Amino acid sequence: MTPARNFYGLRHGATDWNRQGLFQGRTDNPLNEDGLKQAHEAAEMLRGVGISRIVASPLVRALKTAEIIADAIAVPLTIDDGIIEFDFGSFEGLPVRDLMIQHGVKSATGLVSILPADGESWDAMTERSLACVSKWLDRHPDDDLLFVCHDAVMQGMANALCGSYFKNSHGTPFRYVHDGAEWRIEQVVIADRYSPSPPAT
């Protein structure tokens, strides 16, 4: 199922397992101090963008991120299991880098190819995520929606819609843009948030 219009996606703030480079999946770890800071920074970046409704994964790292943003921009928040993180099965808790080296893969596409059979199907995860997004967009046609979820969910949707994966940082909002027959992903940037580096002397 393909969403009918634009929407926003945000990867939750960081946890200790993220910092340690471990597969996290359905393991319900809380945000660490960095993650809480990232959530508050995301809320500032999203002020004035026009978000009018937030849908969050039920996992605490995503839900807490969404709660911080919803409180800051004063919009309703709903939880939906349809955008819960991918289930990595027996990879959960293991180092991502070590397994990539062990299997000789160097990219997101390669990583998807070595996922264990005892976890979720990547295609099934992508389908449920897109169905969830489409349902909410159809249900609230006049709202600009933000989905606060997880890297695998956002990557699966990006690859299905745009044909490629992208660099997705914690607490960084992105807009999935439907432009004619094509989709693209844009990072939400505040024009005056960062000043350019001074010229070299």
Confirm whether 178 is a catalytic residue: no
Joined tokens for residue 60: 């605490």
Confirm whether 85 is a catalytic residue: yes
Catalytic residue among 12, 120, 150, 170: 12
Q: Which residues contact 72 (CB under 8 A, 6 or more apart)?
A: 40, 43, 44, 46, 47
Catalytic residue among 41, 85, 120, 150: 85
What burial class does residue 71 get, using C-beta atoms within 10 Å of its C-beta: 0-12 exposed, 13-18 middle, 19+ buried? exposed
Q: Which residues contact 82 (CB under 8 A, 6 or more apart)?
A: 128, 129, 131, 132, 133, 135
What burial class does residue 182 get, using C-beta atoms within 10 Å of its C-beta: 0-12 exposed, 13-18 middle, 19+ buried? exposed
DSSP codes joined into one string, 64-91:
HHHHHHHHHHT--EEE-GGGPPP--GGG
Helix (H) or strand (E) holding 186: strand 182-187
CB-based contact 63:71 (threshold 8 Å)? no
DSSP codes joined into one string, 26-47:
T--PPP-HHHHHHHHHHHHHHT
Catalytic site positions: 12, 85
